[in-house]
Amino acid sequence: MEMEKFSYDNGIVRKFLIATVIFGVVGMLVGLLAALQLVFPSLGFATDFLTFGRIRPLHTNAVIFAFVGNGIFAGVYYSLQRLLKSRMWSDLLSNINFWGWQLIIVSAVLTLPFGYTTGKEYAELEWPIDIAMFGQEQEYVLINVYEEPRASVSSMVSLRDILSEASNDSLVEEKHRLSEKHPNLKISTESIYGDPNKAIVLYSTQEEVDAIVMGSKGASSLTKLFLGSAAISAMQSAKMPVFVVPESYQFDGMSKVLLAVDLVKDDTHIVRQFVLSMLKKHKSKLTILTVTEDEDKIELDKVENAYTMHNSLEDIEHDFDVIEGEEVSAIIQNYARENDYDLVVTIPREAPWFKRALNPSISKNLVEHLQKPMLALH
């Protein structure tokens, strides 16, 4: 009986190891440059391509996906063959894996310095893949939550059926109206029975939606109470961004955006994750507003966080403003109106001044009286 002879494919292992070393050196050098820029901002060399906000994601992607990713593939190809006592089934497929992975990495290297990014931390590499697949289709879900008023048991069944039918009819009508105006949008509908203050957030969490958009009314009515409380509940408890748009608001671009923050450590990450791509798309100017009880005694860590945020937003036109006061919601409202901002962005969290801004009374004032679109980030 003749023994079968074979050899392991060490060539593919060698390729991944070489790529690991190359991208490891490149990624760490870029990381060193990004770190030095925090101390010496002039190391951006007066060019947009080498600013901190652009080379920081390049560094993380190079180290995580190029350096570590190639190292993992090298380990898998080396150990798997020896574990199974068999050569890889196809050298061609192994090479497609190698060159395809390098192509994705090179796509990031060529695009991130130009500012083309999703703005999602550690997920910037999504967009070259999306482009290669002719774009990722977004779906918009129209939701109507209904509940019947308190009634006797005998009348509740028929009333719920009536409300359900009316809810479905209104959703179909609204979908038809939007489809005529925006024929390329993928729109679906969902009619939900339950408490609006809980059902919207629960559905959004279960379905893993990217953002919630809600309307609000400023008139003194039951509708105002309903929409206001539902919007406040979503802003406080949702884990995804929540847009609140006044009924009377007419969209006319987004040239000026106000970001009200407390300058805590996580603010930079949250802002980059969602706002950055939106600001780039609309070419918006960003103003970062901080309210403090004593303007002359701002904590050192907040100053450092402001500097970090400034570096991460270098490719976005932005400025900072600090206002002294205790009436947070009133200050935000007046500042937004006086400077005519198109969008007010807040970051709900348990922080010294913003914790007060999120209690029901102040949030209600922001939602009902600001009469500007609001975006709550989490």
* pLDDT (tens digit per residue) in 261-308: 776 655 666 666 566 667 777 778 888 888 777 666 666 666 677 767
- Residue owning tokens 């400034």: 310
CA-to-CA distance for 172 and 189, rounded, in angstroms?
7
Written as six digits, the tokens of 303 are 């100053």
In a domain, 218, yes or no: no
Q: What letter would DSSP give residue 66? A: I
Element (DSSP H or E) covering residue 213: strand 212-216
Same domain, 142 and 128: no
Both 152 and 183 in one domain: the answer is: yes
Distance CA 34, CA 53 (A): 9
Please, are residues 357 and 329 in contact by the beta-carbon 8 Å criterion?
Answer: yes
In a domain, 224, yes or no: no
Is 66 within a domain? yes
Among the three residues 172, 194, 216, which one is the final residue of a domain in this structure?
A: 194
62-78 average pLDDT score: 92
The CATH number of whichever domain residue 329 belongs to comes to 3.40.50.620
Determine whether 245 is exposed, middle or buried from the number of CB atoms within 10 Å of its CB (0-12, 13-18, 19+): middle
Please give the DSSP secondary-structure letter assigned to residue 89.
S
Q: Give the integer Cα–Cα distance in Å for 374 and 378.
A: 13
Same domain membership, residue 146 and residue 178: yes
Asked if the structure places residue 210 within a domain, the reply is no
pTM of the model: 0.60
124 and 17, same domain (yes or no): yes
| Mean pLDDT of the residues in the chain | 77
Average pLDDT over residues 334-356: 72
Q: Where are the alpha helices (DSSP H) in the chain?
A: 10-39, 52-61, 69-84, 91-111, 126-132, 153-181, 196-206, 222-237, 267-270, 276-282, 300-312, 328-338, 354-357, 360-369
The CA distances from residue 331 to 41, 291, 357, 367, in Å, are 32, 8, 11, 14
Q: Which of 327, 333, 255 is nearest to 287 (CA)?
A: 255
Confidence of residue 116 (pLDDT cuts 50, 70, 90): low
369, 316: one domain: yes
Indicate if 147 and 111 belong to the same structural domain: no
**Do 63 and 168 belong to one domain?**
no
Mean pLDDT, residues 116-127:
60
Spatial CA neighbour of 109 closest among 143, 181, 61: 61
The contacts of residue 327 (CB under 8 Å, 6+ apart) are: none
* 8 A C-beta contact, residue 285 and residue 317: yes
- Tell me if 228 is assigned to some domain: no
The answer to whether residues 320 and 288 touch, using CB atoms and an 8 Å cutoff, is yes
Determine the pLDDT at residue 162: 81
37 in the same domain as 110: yes
**Which of the listed residues 110, 132, 154 is the one where a domain comes to its end?**
132
pLDDT at 106 over 80: yes
Give me the number of domains the chain comprises. 3
Other CB atoms within 10 A of residue 131 CB: 13
Average pLDDT over residues 176-201: 84
Structural domain includes residue 239: no
How many residues does the structure list for the chain?
378
Both tokens of 334, joined, read 């007046």
Q: What is the pLDDT of residue 223?
A: 45
Q: Which amino acid is at 267?
A: D
Is residue 347 domain-shared with residue 284, that is, in the same domain? yes
Q: State the burial class of residue 214 (Cβ atoms within 10 Å of its Cβ: 0-12, 13-18, 19+).
A: buried
pLDDT tens-place string over residues 231-271: 777 877 788 888 888 877 777 778 888 888 776 655 666 66
What tokens appear for 110 in the block? 């060529």
CA–CA gap between residue 21 and residue 35 (Å, rounded): 21
Residues 31 and 82 in one domain: yes
Contact 320, 290 (CB under 8 A): yes
Q: 370 and 291, same structural domain?
A: yes
Q: Which two tokens stand for residue 90?
A: 């196809």
**260 within domain boundaries:** yes
> Which residue, 194, 219, 236, sits at the end of a domain?
194
Residue 275 tokens read as 């706002």
Domain extent at residue 367: 256-376
Q: What is the pLDDT of residue 108?
A: 78
* Whole-number Å distance between alpha carbons of 345 and 235: 11
* Average of per-residue pLDDT across 124-147: 64
Average pLDDT for 185-208:
86
Whether residues 109 and 151 fall in one domain: no
For 34-41, what is the mean pLDDT? Answer: 82
Does 4 reside within a domain?
A: no
Q: Name beta bridge partners: 186.
A: 139
